[in-house]
Amino acid sequence: MGWYANLKIGKKLVLGFVSVIVISGLVGIAGIKGMGELDGMLVNLYGTTLVSTVYVNEAYTQLIMHNRRIYRHIASGEKGVEEQVASQLKINEMAISEAMGKYRKTSLVPTETELLERFNRIWPEYLSVTARILKISSEGRNREAVALAENEGRPLFYKLNDTLAELVRYNLAEGKQQNDEAERLFHAIRYWMIALILATVAIGAAMSFFITRSVVSPLRQVLDAVLSISEGGEEKARLAEAISSGDLSQDVAITERLRLDLDTVPKDEAGMLLKAVAGLSDMQSSVDAAFSRMTESLRRSRKEDQERDWLKTGTNDLNAILRGDRRVGEMVEQSLAYLCEYLGAGVGAFYFYNDNSRDLEIGATYALTRRKNLNERIVMGEGLAGEAAKERKVICLTNVPPDYLPISSATGESKPLNIAAVPLLHNDRLVGVLELGSFNEFMDKELEFLQLAREGLAIGISISISRKQIDELLEQTQAQTEELRVQQEELQQTNEELEERAQMLEQQREQIRAKNREVEEASLEIRRKAEELERVSTYKSEFLANMSHELRTPLNSLMILSSLLRENRDGNLTEKQVEYAATINSSGNDLLNLINDILDLSKIESGRLEFNYEPLSVQTLFGQIRTMFAPIAEQRGLAFDVAIEEGVPEEITTDSQRTQQILKNLISNACKFTTSGEVTVRVFLPSVAENPLNAPAIAVEVADTGVGIAVDKHELVFQAFQQADGTTSRRFGGTGLGLSISRQLARGLHGDILLQSNEGQGSTFTLYLPLAPSPATRELHKDLSTAAVVPDRDAVNPDASADLAPAPVQDDRERLLPGERSILIIEDDLNFAGILMDMVRKRGFAAIVAADGESGIMLAERFLPSAIILDVMLPKVDGWGVMRSLKGDMKTRHIPVHFLTCLEDRQKAMSMGAVGFLKKPVDSEQLNQLFGTIEQSISRTVRKLLIVEESRDEANSMVDLLAERDVAITVAVSGREAIERLTGELFDCVVLDLGLSDISGFEVLAKMQELDEPLRPPVIIHSGKELTHEDEHRLRNYAESIIIKGAKSPERLLNEVTLFLHVVEGGIAPDKQRMIRQALDSEVILEGKKVLIVDDDMRNIFSLSSILAEKNMQVVEAENGVEALERLNEQPDVDVVLMDIMMPEMDGYTAIRKIRKDARFAKLPIIALTAKAMKGDRDDCLKAGASDYIPKPVEVEKLFSLLRVWLYGN
């Protein structure tokens, strides 16, 4: 009240009297003013806060609908729905953009501006992802669309959603604040009105007191608040200036709000002023809070900018290192060092990827201590680097093992806490792997930097490697360019010389043209004469072919019938008659040799003889010569020796067939014309003086101590049909063709034969052959086939087995001693045969090798080996045919045969009498088992046979039939006894009766199958029980042979048992041998078979029918191809056909082709009969469809052998 006391009285009175009037006026003014302010607040609340909230809610609603429709688009799968949803999405996007655009036009505060900028950054990304999702969904890849929506779309949606939510929260907070202020204002106006009304009532001194109190106290508070706000404003101005200059480290202090006690605040103008100041204080506090948030936002933006600058700086610096023209190693070292320094890594390593070895090789290291366990080479998928290279993605590892990439210094070392392996890829091709170790965890920005850097690093390294390769190619190109320049200069000089010569040649060409015209005229004359000679030669060949057929046809009957008479199987001929038959047969052979000689001489004279050059082993050739002629010389009482001198090469290149033929002729003649003394063969290299050829040669000297040849007849003996003694009283017969053919053959091989001899002093024939033919000779004969050459008909005929082909490998056939243990290997894979041969020799056996089935049969018959190793897939004759031939021959059927093949037919092999069966491929253990089986079979002197027969009488009969000195027989009278004996002993064969009383034979067989394979012997079913088809089928899985008891069952049983026991023919009684032969020849294979003989010569039909009838075969006859087809249609049950080739009406070739066209006879065996007049008959017959081929005159045993082979399966 001090201020009132200082006033003049008048003023006090005026103040006193007008107090009521003033208070009344203030009531009206305050009411109007308060209503105005309240109206303003309401307008502001609607115009800013509520409208902004509506816009944000609209955008939020559209955003929710937009996101849901994206998933609807993915889930629909229908084109129409997808188009509808896409249209609705466009509407949502436009609505969101429109709502946010309206929002931007309202009055914005910094907080709203910041939130809108955030929305603007996220919204385009969200639209881009949405577009990709719609595209993938439209293509039907819903899984990919869902994955993209979940992984990329949903996070962006949440960010937009959060931004709009913050805007809503901000506007709601602002609206609430304005609403509170309006409410406070409303209450204040009401209080003021009440206070003024009371003030009007109050008069006097009390009014003055209240006026004073209501004015002074509020003014003091207002003054304090204004001063406080003023002081805070200066501080905020300083902070704003610091922030605007870039200093974001300042902290904004928020002004403390003015707190009022409304009960103590007067209701007059002073109180209102105090409340206004309080509102200003609240506003200032809000501004300070917004200012603080803006400062924090600026800090985050600056940090993001700094991280982007850090990434760009690192990338640019690394690219600068990669842009330099450096070697790959230097570039990698500098890049690795920079990355380790820039990322703060304490250790690092770089591995190059090797395309050849497909692994990683160390290329560079950083601060890495080399240790023994440091991987210089890493396999893909091995270790962290190998796994990163395999997966082709960055791998980070924490809690590293102690010995992994240690970081060391002069003061010590420690393991890194984090390892990162970064594969470098360029064009999806692995270049290398970068491995970094650090004490600190790799931050997101550092990993992002590695992702950016690895692409540039991969490109830089690839470019550096390519640059190195280009430099190398450039150097090569420059060198080649220089070389080409020198060659061009030389070529230019050569061209100048050629031009000079061309002028000279042009002059000579004119002279040559004149001579050519003369030569052409002479050539025409020669061509005419050559054509005439060709016609004559053709007529001659056709004549000889026809004559050969006409001669061989009667000769065929003569030799077959004489052979039958000579055998005297019925024993009704006298010895003299048998001798006559042998003479007839021998004369037929002589006539056959003469026919062959004439045909061969005709080919030589016509120039159609052709040669086939190939490498020929000298040792093998003369080993065969020694084996062939030593028995013959011994039979004649002559000494025979073959000597190969030192220096003779192991192989020569020549026609092996022609060479063998020449040597056979020379040595045969030497033996023939020598009655006592010796025949020697010497192989040597002639000196230059001795050599009559113009090339290095080998010489074979055949010397004898025979009758010799007069000097004046040396040339005569080399002429056709000439001998040294040409008189009618000569001692030695013969046509005189052998030496003539031999010399012409030698000269055809570019060699020669020289003779040194005097009458009565023996003869020396020397064959000279070049070691190798000239290139011109090879070119001349490279596509030609070979014709047969036959020796002089009176030359000594060696054993038929001497016609064996040369050994395919260097085996032991020439060194084989009588009685020596040997194994025959029949295998067309010569590499594998060589391995088997070495193993055979290591086990103490001699080895013989055959590369085809035909040679294998001949070698087996000749050498009778201790055992045979047999393949199935063989040329000429397969393994089954070889086995049938071996087991059908009494001389070879006892030989143990072990199959070694790639087929699965074990049961078939064992049923044919094999001792073992292995399927290729085999290992060393299996081969040892194979040889063990063979050695066991060979070394076992006594064979053990088990007879399972309940009948004692039947068992004793079988014991009497099968008993031999080398066979131990055990009898079991029951099935259980048989099983006990089989489990305790090793038997070589079992004869089993099915009708047992205790258990059936099938149960015995089932128990035997449970035994180990080495203890499981072959089984022969010998039963009187009639078997059903089902029983027989079951037995075929267990038993090797089934014999039904009957009249001829003993022969078959004896045959089968001796087959499986491998009993030698010589160890069997003669009567049992006859039983086995009978089982082999007639009953088992040939008996009852129907054969169709097709031949236009009834003499041939008669002779063939006679020998076939002896084997109880049914014969059907036909005189030509047409009749043959009719007979087959009438009797389609024919088992085999013997088809002649040259016949009237329809020849054999045409008949065979027509038979093969009939599906019924597609597999009918057809054996072609031909006169063997021309080369290639065999191939023509087989090409026409024949199963096999036999020449006329027919050899009876060979015919029966072929029939057994082809009829065996029937």
The tokens describing 880, both together, are 């089954």
Same-domain status, 211 and 179: yes
pLDDT at 962 over 80: no
**Please, are residues 824 and 789 in contact by the beta-carbon 8 Å criterion?**
no
pLDDT at 630 over 80: yes
Mean pLDDT of 1095-1100: 80
Mean pLDDT of 1099-1110: 80
In a domain, 254, yes or no: no
The tokens describing 1101, both together, are 């039909």
Q: How does pLDDT run across 432-445, given as a tens digit for each residue? A: 888 888 877 778 88
pLDDT at 407 over 80: no
Same-domain status, 970 and 926: no
What pLDDT does 263 receive? Answer: 62
What pLDDT does 256 receive? Answer: 65
Q: How does pLDDT run across 114-127, given as a tens digit for each residue? A: 888 888 888 888 88
Query: Measured between alpha carbons, how far is 789 from 661 in angstroms, rounded to an integer?
Result: 7
The tokens describing 423, both together, are 């594969």
Highest mean pLDDT, choosing among 189-203, 394-408, 918-932, 1060-1074: 918-932
Q: Which amino acid, residue 42?
A: L
pLDDT band for position 792 (cuts 50, 70, 90): very low
In sequence order, the β-bridge partners of residue 1117 are 1093
Query: Measured between alpha carbons, how far is 1208 from 386 in angstroms, rounded to an integer?
Result: 65
Same-domain status, 103 and 141: yes
Q: Single out the residue in 1064, 1083, 1102 at which a domain terminates.
A: 1083
CATH of the domain at 399: 3.30.450.40
Same-domain status, 915 and 981: no
Task: Tell me whether strands 967-972 and 412-414 are parallel, antiparallel or unpaired.
Answer: unpaired
In a domain, 274, yes or no: no
Q: Write the CA distances from 97 to 92, 155, 165, 170, integer angstroms.
A: 9, 20, 16, 20
Same-domain status, 45 and 156: yes
**Please, are residues 789 and 597 in contact by the beta-carbon 8 Å criterion?**
no
* Closest by CA position to 454, among listed 427, 429, 433: 433
What pLDDT does 298 receive? Answer: 74
In a domain, 255, yes or no: no
Same-domain status, 1072 and 1160: no
**Please, are residues 926 and 909 in contact by the beta-carbon 8 Å criterion?**
no
- The pTM (predicted TM-score) of the whole model is 0.32
C-alpha torsion 282→287→292→297, nearest 10: 140
DSSP string for 766-808 = EEEEESS--HHHHHHHTT---------TTS----GGGGPPPPS
What pLDDT does 17 receive? Answer: 64
- Tally the domains of the chain: 6
Same-domain status, 946 and 933: no
Q: Write the CA distances from 185 to 262, 284, 1007, integer angstroms.
A: 12, 19, 115
Query: Measured between alpha carbons, how far is 700 from 686 in angstroms, rounded to an integer?
Result: 10
Mean pLDDT of 15-43: 69
In a domain, 872, yes or no: yes
What pLDDT does 685 receive? Answer: 93
What pLDDT does 512 receive? Answer: 77
What pLDDT does 562 receive? Answer: 75
488-492, 508-512, 738-742, 1066-1070: which range is least confident on average? 1066-1070
Same-domain status, 971 and 1063: yes
**Greatest Cα-to-Cα distance within the chain, rounded to the nearest angstrom:** 203
Q: Single out the residue in 422, 453, 484 at which a domain terminates.
A: 453
What pLDDT does 701 receive? Answer: 94
Of 63 and 561, the one with more pLDDT: 63
Angle of helix 154-201 versus helix 9-44 axis, rounded to 10: 150
Same-domain status, 883 and 1024: no
* Closest by CA position to 773, among listed 692, 660, 618, 654: 654
pLDDT band for position 782 (cuts 50, 70, 90): very low
Highest mean pLDDT, choosing among 245-259, 340-354, 876-890, 1113-1127: 1113-1127
b/e for 722-732, b at 16 or more Cβ within 10 A? bbbbeeeeeee
In a domain, 88, yes or no: yes
- Interacting residues of 839 by C-beta distance below 8 A, sequence separation 6+: 927, 931
What pLDDT does 229 receive? Answer: 67
4-13, 229-238, 1025-1034: which range is least confident on average? 4-13
Same-domain status, 17 and 60: yes
The tokens describing 405, both together, are 């990439």
Mean pLDDT of 727-742: 58
What pLDDT does 1073 receive? Answer: 57
pLDDT at 266 over 60: no
What pLDDT does 645 receive? Answer: 92
Q: How many CB atoms lie within 10 A of CB 1157?
A: 10
Mean pLDDT of 842-859: 90
pLDDT at 779 over 50: no
Query: Measured between alpha carbons, how far is 285 from 217 in angstroms, rounded to an integer?
Result: 24
Mean pLDDT of 335-358: 84
pLDDT at 5 over 60: no
Query: Measured between alpha carbons, how far is 1037 from 1046 in angstroms, rounded to an integer?
Result: 24
409 burial level (CB within 10 Å; 0-12, 13-18, 19+): exposed
311-325, 685-699, 986-1000: which range is least confident on average? 311-325
What pLDDT does 591 receive? Answer: 75
Query: Measured between alpha carbons, how far is 383 from 331 in angstroms, rounded to an integer?
Result: 25
- Interacting residues of 26 by C-beta distance below 8 A, sequence separation 6+: 192, 196, 268, 269
- Sheet with 967-972: list strands edge to edge: 967-972, 943-948, 989-992, 1019-1023, 1041-1044
In a domain, 635, yes or no: yes
Angle of helix 51-76 versus helix 79-105 axis, rounded to 10: 160
Query: Measured between alpha carbons, how far is 1123 from 373 in angstroms, rounded to an integer?
Result: 90
Q: Single out the residue in 909, 938, 967 at which a domain terminates.
A: 938
In a domain, 975, yes or no: yes
pLDDT band for position 1110 (cuts 50, 70, 90): confident
- Sheet with 1090-1094: list strands edge to edge: 1114-1118, 1090-1094, 1136-1140, 1166-1170, 1188-1191
Highest mean pLDDT, choosing among 46-50, 757-761, 790-794, 1206-1210: 757-761
pLDDT at 798 over 60: no
**Please, are residues 812 and 856 in contact by the beta-carbon 8 Å criterion?**
no
Q: Which amino acid, residue 889?
A: D
What pLDDT does 1082 receive? Answer: 45
- Helix H or strand E segment including 95: helix 79-105
Domain limits for position 1116: 1090-1208
Q: How does pLDDT run across 1136-1184, given as a tens digit for each residue? A: 999 988 888 888 999 999 999 998 898 899 999 876 545 567 778 888 8
* Closest by CA position to 708, among listed 731, 685, 686: 731
- Interacting residues of 1104 by C-beta distance below 8 A, sequence separation 6+: 560, 1093, 1095, 1115, 1138, 1194
Highest mean pLDDT, choosing among 117-131, 221-235, 696-710: 696-710
Q: How many CB atoms lie within 10 A of CB 507?
A: 8
pLDDT at 896 over 80: yes
What pLDDT does 137 receive? Answer: 81
CATH of the domain at 137: 1.20.120.30
In sequence order, the β-bridge partners of residue 729 are none
The tokens describing 537, both together, are 């030669």
Same-domain status, 136 and 157: yes
pLDDT at 1091 over 90: yes
pLDDT band for position 702 (cuts 50, 70, 90): very high
pLDDT at 9 over 50: no
Task: Tell me whether strands 1090-1094 and 1114-1118 are parallel, antiparallel or unpaired.
Answer: parallel
In a domain, 533, yes or no: no
The three-state secondary structure class of 210 is: helix
Length of the chain: 1210
Task: Tell me whether strands 1114-1118 and 1136-1140 are parallel, antiparallel or unpaired.
Answer: unpaired
DSSP string for 333-377 = HHHHHHHHHHHT-SEEEEEEEETTTTEEEEEEEESB---TT--SE
Q: How does pLDDT run across 874-893, given as a tens digit for each residue? A: 887 888 888 888 877 778 87
Of 464 and 196, the one with more pLDDT: 464
pLDDT band for position 790 (cuts 50, 70, 90): very low
The tokens describing 1073, both together, are 């041998």
pLDDT at 568 over 70: yes
Q: How does pLDDT run across 653-663, given as a tens digit for each residue? A: 888 888 988 99
pLDDT at 26 over 80: no
Task: Please provide the average confidence, as pLDDT, over all residues in the chain.
Answer: 76
pLDDT at 1123 over 60: yes
CATH of the domain at 878: 3.40.50.2300
Share of the chain above pLDDT 90, in %: 8
CATH of the domain at 649: 3.30.565.10
* Closest by CA position to 1024, among listed 1057, 979, 992: 992
Query: Measured between alpha carbons, how far is 1135 from 31 in angstroms, rounded to an integer?
Result: 139
**Please, are residues 578 and 565 in contact by the beta-carbon 8 Å criterion?**
yes
Same-domain status, 30 and 172: yes
What pLDDT does 542 receive? Answer: 62
**Please, are residues 581 and 565 in contact by the beta-carbon 8 Å criterion?**
yes
